[in-house]
Structure 1
Amino acid sequence: MRMEGLQKLLLVLLILGCRGTLGGAEYLKYKDPKQPLNARINDLLKRMTLAEKIGQMSQIERENATADVLKTYFIGSVLSGGGSVPAPQASIETWVNMVNGMQKAALSTRLGIPIIYGIDAVHGHSNVYKATVFPHNVGLGATRDPALVKKIGAATALEVRATGIPYVFAPCVAVCRDPRWGRCYESYSEDPKLVKEMTEIIPGLQGDIPANSRKGVPFVAGKRNVAACAKHYVGDGGTYKGINENNTIISQHGLLSIHMPPYYSAVIKGVSTVMVSFSSWNGVKMHANHYLVTDFLKNKLHFRGFVISDWQGIDRITSPPHANYSYSIQAGIHAGIDMVMIPFAYTEFIKDLTYQVQNNVIPMSRINDAVRRILRVKFTVGLFENPYADPSLADQLGKKEHRDLAREAVRKSLVLLKNGKSANDPMLPLPKKAKKILVAGSHADNLGYQCGGWTITWQGLSGNNNTIGTTVLDAVKSTVDPSTEVIFSENPDPEFVKQSMFSYAIVVVGEHPYAETDGDNLNLTIPYPGPSVIQNVCSCIKCVVIIISGRPIVIEPYIGMIDSLVAAWLPGTEGQGVADVLFGDYGFSGKLSRTWFKSVEQLPMNFDDPHYDPLFPYGFGLTTMPSKAN
């Protein structure tokens, strides 16, 4: 009888074993979409080893993410840094195959936890060839149109999803208080209220959060949306002299009233992730600031998504970077960073963090909190049910509706600073019909300059062959009457200008592309030969000067000789929007999102300062009506 009972037991065990091995018939609660979110998280978390947990906390660069690496280290996330692409001018198919290939490797691991792939889509899906490149945030701030920005978020999400990517490192909700900062164009405004309004891009990217959602819980509506990232927490736009990654010297009241408000809105709108700033607050590195990351963001604001470091952000806790990596890991993880953008030294990070947990330097409770947050976002995005790219979205990249939206954004972002040498004699809108017109300047026929940094590459490029779009020159030519002769000269000789009998001139000059620290600039002058082009042209004939720049720059010395002046910011690929307004098909409506200073000696100078003496004040912008004559 005992023998018979033993045989029955062995038979039951054999059947259960077969069920476990034959095609995953075993019921796994975390794989059941009908289960409540927290039940799925708890079930998966209790199954995970320390190696699997630390793998989830690791984000590595695309170029390192081989199938072997992803499987061996249980990597949780992969990113494309600025300009990191599978191939030059890579097609959608190439992007999708790369991301799907990485996902396949992740899903083949013991627990089959999908990776979350992230990319900087800061003004459209701008790393990708043929994508719609929208105006940078400084221009979007000038539109004063949160509903438009929400539509831009939705369009960006579709283009990103078309390449198989579910996560973007956007929006930047910095409140730039000094235009000398190289990231000022990534900020919507110097005014925290306006930046707060522009967090409407988050429900554009992620979808509208349901009215009954718990505050601080991440939300992503579905396969046509992406997880967003509010960055860079906090005070990145307030550093001393605008020096990138430097020290923001300000009281707690100042920090909370100027730099924190956009995060209140982002958390309420269900932002999935928050990226920590390289900068310091009163000498304490944000990547090591337990009070602001854990006590304030996680506990006081009830943020339930995950906190991610910036690129090698924990390395830079020490000076020089990576000088004491063990300390940096301890300080960063203790501060409350959940996912670490390593992006290259992942083996060192994983080994050191493992040692610290095993030796009780970092408690397991902190690791579990980090992994719980990461899994919450992955479940919310729907990666367990839909880990792979949706091929039906392939036609979204650079589609006409998105380019039309970008063109509308360009129109609304243009700020008219001067219109005629007297109020009674406006120059704009320009007549489409004229005998001969001059288009001049380094930025008139340069799509790369027009788009700025974070376009195709990290720092941006010069030229018209890097992606698809319309330059200002192309836009002018396609807008004027067929009988109007358009002459282009990048840097015309004054004698040529005088002798050529032009009806008027359009001069387009400005900054060359830059990103981050490379854009830090203490003098903010127009690069050569911009000033001489203005002088050579505007001293001879009626001219409108269009400034392509990521911030206000020194223009006061030339303002007297200029008939009309337009701030076009960094408009992106749809230059036709400039011509739409210039020639009066639409009126000018943009308002300065930043104070336009007279000289850099006045900086920092913001709209709420007691001694405020700008060239053009915050909120300034002349308006025109659409032209009937055209």
Structure 2
Amino acid sequence: MLVSISSHAESSLQDRVEGLLAEMTLAEKIGQMTQAERQHATPEDVKKYYLGSILNGGGSVPGKNRRQDWVDMISGYQQAAQSTRLGIPILYGTDAVHGHSNVKDATIFPHNVAIGATRNPRLAHDIGVATALETAATGVHWTFAPTLCVARDDRWGRAYECFGEQPDLVSEFSGPFVKGLQGGGLNGNTIGQNRVIATAKHWVADGGTTYGTGDEGYAIDRGDTRLEFADLERLHIAPYLPALKADVGTVMVSYSSVNGTKMHEHKGLVNDTLKGDLGFSGFTISDWSALSEIPAETNRERVVRSVNAGLDMVMEPENWKEFISDLTDAVKAGEVPMSRIDEAVRRILMIKLRSGLFEHPVAPIALRADADMIIGNAQHRALARQAVRESVVLLKNEGGVLPIDKESRIFVAGSHANDIGLQSGGWTIEWQGKSGVETTGTSILEGIQDLAHRKVSYSADGTGAAGHDVAVVVIGEDPYAEGWGDYRPAPCEKCKPIGIGEDQRTVLDNVRASGVPMVVVLVSGRPLMIEEEISSWNSMVAAWLPGSEGAGVADVLLGDYAPTGKLPVTWPKKLSQIPINYGDKEYEPLFPYGFGMTY
């Protein structure tokens, strides 16, 4: 699907690929298929093993996590790669999934569930552009985004990475987001134009797995999706089509299974459907150490199965030497045909050439004297604030408490009101995210204080509300990412309730006892079980995981902007209703998919 360059240019690139391929040894080819993590591979390793790619895991950062630290690190890897016999540059990848959120002081955009609530694909495009600029400014070439999952079960801890529960909604954002990141396609100079290579993930149906018991209790992440192909195509493959049409450079394969077969060994869906039927011409990349989950007796067998299924590049963060050794032996033994190796390397080299990596091993923007001004700049923060206010969904407003009069005596409560880490969620500076992350931004409390005309009172525990005109209580989930965010019933080590914790109930009780009208702001990656509580709230908004620009929530609360957000997911009454999705035969939610009030 080479849609963005002329036939002459395409032919020229193909000649360059075939010329390189003809010169490459087996070791050089397998090196190109290998991706290692920065803490486990040095520039000297890149030079010795001809590594094709380096990535960083969530929370794995160079130096003091400043822009120049990233540029220096990536330049070191590139110098090593270019000193090899063929001088093929490395691709450096990162999880810039809601902005370049590994990097201190970068703009952190709302997570995808919030973007889905905006119903504004153009906004997603612009977020992609801003993310690409900040990512390129650190020298990074490639982001593992966008996530195109369709979240069919809120118990899944990655549900907030999805734009919503309906394939048509996810499809609306798929193409624009890719175009924002990459530009008009991989046009031969994508990196030179300070864009990045995008990744559609996780192929396929990671949001449709069946909830059931596993070795560590209740498991849904990396589980099994059980569907007939027609339903798989309708629900989970459809959102990839706009991304493929937009010329997405890479596709990351899911940890999960489809009808009992792990996707990383599913030749039918990776090689035959994605590459064959859908004409995907980029390269496939495995997820983090995902080959280890293929049920086989030896690592070599897992390697053989995955590569023969159509995996082109393999993300082996720590055990990459074992991958190289096992694949080399498998090829020599005839277990993986050389034609499969050549196809993988051909795809990888073509993306490197089509992105302009050979001409720009470090993006031009990263080398500019004013490059530090790109990270978290005012324009990008304004865009993020716009995304926040467009994503806020007003779910209840009795007595016209909202919007809040700026002359009111405003009381704010709850730890989530004054913590950028809590409002940003997972994949923020660290893999799982955390409370109190040190990065530039504005909390929800600070946003309210900035807009209000009178002094705003704040109490984390909710005491002291009496005498105020209105109380804004900001509560929600603690940050989490994959695995740790899955719902499991107590007692268990990793229990993650889908509701309001006892400490937050105390905050609500303290404010309720004051008799002051109460506005509840929920900061969460998914609907929380609130049916027993909501009757005592005057107003309630879903703020999702807004990221670094919490002032966007204040914009709506204090009436500078009327709420326009619509639910991208169904809001259940109770846990026993999950999974619940629009179109179900029995559908009696607390709030239906698409619901959202305004002023």
TM-score in same-fold range (> 0.5): yes
Select between 534-543 and 107-116 the one with higher mean Cα deviation: 534-543
Residue 488 of structure 1 aligns to a residue whose secondary structure is: strand
Contact 1:209/1:219, CA 8 A, preserved across alignment:
no
Aligned mate of 1:592, from 536, 560, 567: 567
Structure 2 counterpart of 1:275:
252
After superposition, residues 125-164 of structure 1 pair within 5 angstroms as 125-164=100-139
Residue matched to 1:68: 44
1:259-274 to 2 correspondences below 5 Å:
259-274=236-251
Cα distance, 1:150 vs structure 2: 0.1
TM-score when scaled to structure 1?
0.89
Q: Root-mean-square deviation (CA), in Å?
A: 1.6
Q: Which one-letter code corresponds to 2:410 in the other structure?
A: I
Matched, 1:363 2:340: no
Q: Which residue of 2 aligns with 1:109?
A: 84
* Worse-superposed segment, 166-175 or 249-258: 249-258
Q: Which residue does 2:425 correspond to in 1? A: 452
Equivalent residue number for residue 480 of structure 1 = 452
Question: How big is each residue's C-alpha offset from its partner over 1:414-451, in whole Å with a ceiling of 9 and x where there is no partner?
Answer: 0000011xxxx3111100102x3210012010110000
Describe the SS at the equivalent of 1:518: coil
**Unmatched runs of 5 consecutive residues or more in structure 1:** 1-31, 625-630
Contact 2:47 2:80 in 1 (8 A): yes
Partner SS for 2:239: helix
Residue 148 of structure 1: how far off its partner (Å):
0.4
Q: Secondary structure at the match of 1:530?
A: helix
Counterpart residue number, 1:191: 166
Q: Which residue of 1 aligns with 2:202?
A: 232
Helix, strand or coil for the counterpart of 1:544?
A: strand
- How far is 1:370 from its partner? 0.3
SS at 2:133 equivalent: helix
Of 606, 618, 627, 2:581 maps to 606
Amino acid of the residue matched to residue 547 of structure 1? L
User: 1:240 Cα shift?
Assistant: 1.2
Q: 1:347 to 1:221 in 2, by over 3 A?
A: closer
SS in 2 for 1:231: strand
- Look up the SS of the partner of 1:560 in the other structure: helix
Distance in 1, matches of 2:109 and 2:570, equals 22
More displaced 10-residue stretch of structure 1: 225-234 or 384-393: 384-393
Could you say what secondary structure the match of 1:245 adopts? coil
Q: 2:438 aligns with which of 444, 466, 470?
A: 466
Moved over 2 A (4+): 32-35, 218-223, 392-395
- Residue type of the alignment partner of 2:382: D
User: Partner amino acid for 1:228?
Assistant: A
The residue aligned with 1:51 is 27
How far apart in 2 are the matches of 1:310 and 1:287? 9
Check whether the contact 2:141–2:191 (CA below 8 A) recurs between aligned residues.
Answer: no
Partner in structure 2 of residue 407 of structure 1: 385
Deviations for 1:492-537, whole angstroms, at most 9, x for unmatched residues? 34xx43xx31111000000000000100014411233112222321
Counterpart Cα distance in 2 of 1:610 and 1:182: 25
Match of 2:13 in 1: 37
Shift of residue 35 of structure 1? 7.1
- Distance (whole Å) between structure 1 residues aligned to residue 233 and residue 190 of structure 2: 27
Aligned counterparts, 1:513-532, within 5 A: 513-522=479-488, 523-532=497-506
The separation in 2 between residues aligned to 1:492 and 1:546, in whole angstroms, is 14
**Equivalent residue in structure 2 for 1:258, among 235, 238, 247:** 235
The separation in 2 between residues aligned to 1:381 and 1:141, in whole angstroms, is: 28
Distance in 2 (alpha carbons) for counterparts of 1:274 and 1:98? 25
Paired position in structure 2 for 1:508: 474
Contact 2:185 2:248 in 1 (8 A): no
Alignment-derived partner of residue 577 in structure 1: 552
- Which residue number corresponds to residue 55 of structure 2? 79
* 1:422-437 alignment, distance < 5 Å: 425-434=399-408, 436-437=409-410
Residue pair 2:524, 2:543 contacting (<8 A) in 1 also: yes
Q: How far did residue 219 of structure 1 move?
A: 9.0
**C-alpha displacement of 1:143:** 0.1
- The one-character-per-residue Cα deviations of 1:141-169 (angstroms, maximum 9, x if unpaired) are 00000000000000000000000011000
Question: Alpha-carbon deviation of 1:37?
Answer: 1.2
Matches of 2:397 and 2:362, distance apart in 1: 53
Secondary structure at 2:145's aligned position in 1? Answer: coil
Code of the aligned partner of 1:234: V
Q: How does 1:360-399 map to 2 (within 5 A)?
A: 360-390=334-364, 391-392=367-368, 393-399=371-377
1:248-327 to 2 correspondences below 5 Å: 248-318=225-295, 323-327=297-301
Contact 1:59 1:76 in 2 (8 A): yes
Query: For the residues of structure 1 that align with 2:348 and 2:10, how far apart are their CA atoms?
Result: 20
SS of the residue aligned with 1:444? helix
Assess, with a 3 A threshold, how the Cα gap between structure 1 residues 389 and 101 changes in structure 2: closer, same or farther: farther
- Contact 1:138 / 1:184 at 8 angstroms: preserved in 2? yes
Distance in 2 separating the partners of 1:153 and 1:509: 29
Match of 2:214 in 1: none
| Residue 87 (structure 1) shift | 2.5
Q: 2:151 aligns with which of 176, 181, 185?
A: 176
Checking the alignment, whether the CA contact within 8 Å between 1:100 and 1:389 is kept in structure 2 is no
Residues 65/389 of structure 1: CA separation in 2 closer, same or farther (3 Å cut): farther
Change (3 A) 1:78 1:221: closer
Residue correspondences, number: 571
Is 1:564 aligned to residue 542 of structure 2? no
| TM, length-normalised to structure 2 | 0.93
**1:348 aligns to what SS in structure 2?**
helix
Q: Which residue is 1:338 aligned to?
A: 312
Higher mean alpha-carbon deviation, 387-396 vs 115-124, is at 387-396
Preserved contact between residue 194 and residue 363 of structure 2 (Cα < 8 Å) = no
Greater Cα shift, 331-340 or 524-533: 524-533
Which amino acid in structure 1 is aligned with residue 143 of structure 2?
V
Q: 1:545, CA displacement in angstroms?
A: 0.2
Amino acid at match of 1:462: S
Q: Who is 1:328 aligned against?
A: 302
Deviates more, 1:38-47 or 1:521-530: 521-530
Determine helix, strand or coil for the equivalent of 1:569: coil
Q: Quick check: which has more Rg, 1 or 2?
A: 1
CA distance in 1, matches of 2:11, 2:222: 43
1:482-497 superposed matches below 5 A: 484-493=454-463, 496-497=464-465
2:494 aligns to what?
Answer: none
